[in-house]
Amino acid sequence: MLPQASRAAAILTLGRWFSARSRVLPWRSEPTLYRVWISEIMLQQTQVVTVLPYFERFMQRFPTVEALASASEAEVVEAWAGLGYYSRARNLHRGARQIVASGFPRTREGWIEIPGVGPYTAGAITSIALGHAEPILDGNVERVLARVLALSRADGDARFKARLWKWSGLLVRRAARLEVSPSRFNQALMELGALVCTFRNPKCAECPVRYVCAAARLEATERFPGKKPAKEWVRVEEIRHAWIARDDSGREVILMRRQAPGEWRAGLWDLVPEAPAIGKAALLGEIATRHVVTRHKIERTTKIWSVSEMSAPPRPQKIGEEFAWTPLDQPGLAGSASFQKTWKSLREFRIGSPR
């Protein structure tokens, strides 16, 4: 399985391919520990094309780890709004404060102690930013190695992953001995999986290491790595109330509530979960939305109310730390993906309803 001579030739070929074909990405042009760490956390469960604008804005707002640590959690979550999986933002904030107190870790083991950093992310950070010969295994690398080595999940997911981790370590250490830096080699594996060795319709004719790929030789790329274990879904049912009023300029505004610490989506804004006594109101109707987050299938029912006869016109500004009125046509508050889907349906409802 992948003889030593073929292994060395493939490593050198892959290194040259990456130098010639890799995408220009902001964390690659300036691979500091801080920038690589932020990018790797953003790239968890999220594609590069989605991450790029968020990364640039995040760097402008928090250019250093000190700036990130000194911000409030609410500010960090707000800057993260739209990327989803908000525990990543909270972990970044906690990690920044830990780093400011103790310094940037210089080893894989040290990085694993940072909130939100697991074995893959620790290996990516230390290999890319520090040049350490550490293994990595994300979805792209898993697919590349599984096809090259003809390894399948059929023997069990745990055994499959263990074998891939072993091979990832062997190859990055071999690359270092061949003077292909761990940074370049590991990123080359990621890039190959992202651009060429894709999940569907891999571009085998464009692959620089096709000549050592067992799956290509067998003409069976679709068999490797095989299906992941079935995901266990958690069903969540939510009720929300959309309280719509008009401010003193006649613009429609909607009442929002910030999720409290300890609540799911803490720090994010959403519609209110119950009907507060804010004035006379009429029920206009309701909408149903569905949304999937990690292993949660969320079914949400939103009741839409038209508010009148308030003691004073609502203003599109925060009213305390918990509630705020914000323009319905363009909410300026950081909301969860569930809220964004609800808001889109709510706008469609209002456009089709008499005013």
Domains in the chain and their CATH numbers?
4-223 (1.10.340.30), 234-351 (3.90.79.10)
Active site amino acids: 40
Mean pLDDT calculated for residue range 289-293: 84
H or E element in which residue 182 lies:
helix 182-195
Per-chain mean pLDDT for the chain:
89
| Closest by Cα among 46, 295, 187 to 58 | 46
Quote the pLDDT of residue 2. Answer: 65
Q: Find out whether 241 and 275 touch, Cβ atoms under 8 Å.
A: yes
For residue 223, which amino acid is it? R
Q: Find out whether 147 and 213 touch, Cβ atoms under 8 Å.
A: yes
H or E element in which residue 50 lies:
helix 48-61
Mean pLDDT calculated for residue range 171-175: 97
pLDDT digits (tens, 9 = 90+) for 117-151: 999 999 999 999 999 999 999 999 999 999 999 99
Quote the pLDDT of residue 314. Answer: 54
- CB contact set of 354 (below 8 Å; sequence gap of 6+): none
Mean pLDDT calculated for residue range 316-343: 72
pLDDT digits (tens, 9 = 90+) for 50-99: 999 999 999 999 999 999 999 998 899 889 988 888 889 999 999 999 99
- Cα separation, 168 vs 198, in Å, equals 18
Quote the pLDDT of residue 354. Answer: 45
Q: Find out whether 221 and 147 touch, Cβ atoms under 8 Å.
A: yes
Could you tell me which residue, 147 or 1, shows the higher pLDDT?
147
What share of the chain has pLDDT > 90, as a percent?
A: 61
pTM greater than 0.75 (yes/no): yes
| Closest by Cα among 250, 245, 127, 140 to 190 | 140
Three-state DSSP class for residue 334: coil
* pLDDT higher than 80, residue 252: yes
- Cα separation, 354 vs 134, in Å, equals 62
Quote the pLDDT of residue 62. Answer: 98
- Cα separation, 89 vs 71, in Å, equals 12
Could you tell me which residue, 117 or 277, shows the higher pLDDT?
117
- CB contact set of 225 (below 8 Å; sequence gap of 6+): 142, 143, 146, 147, 151, 152, 153, 160
Three-state DSSP class for residue 293: strand
* pLDDT higher than 70, residue 321: no
Could you tell me which residue, 206 or 249, shows the higher pLDDT?
206
Quote the pLDDT of residue 304. Answer: 92
Confidence of residue 9 (pLDDT cuts 50, 70, 90): very high
Could you tell me which residue, 116 or 263, shows the higher pLDDT?
116
Q: Which two tokens stand for residue 146?
A: 């599984």
- Cα separation, 245 vs 345, in Å, equals 18
Quote the pLDDT of residue 355. Answer: 47
| Closest by Cα among 297, 301, 290 to 234 | 297
Mean pLDDT calculated for residue range 261-283: 78
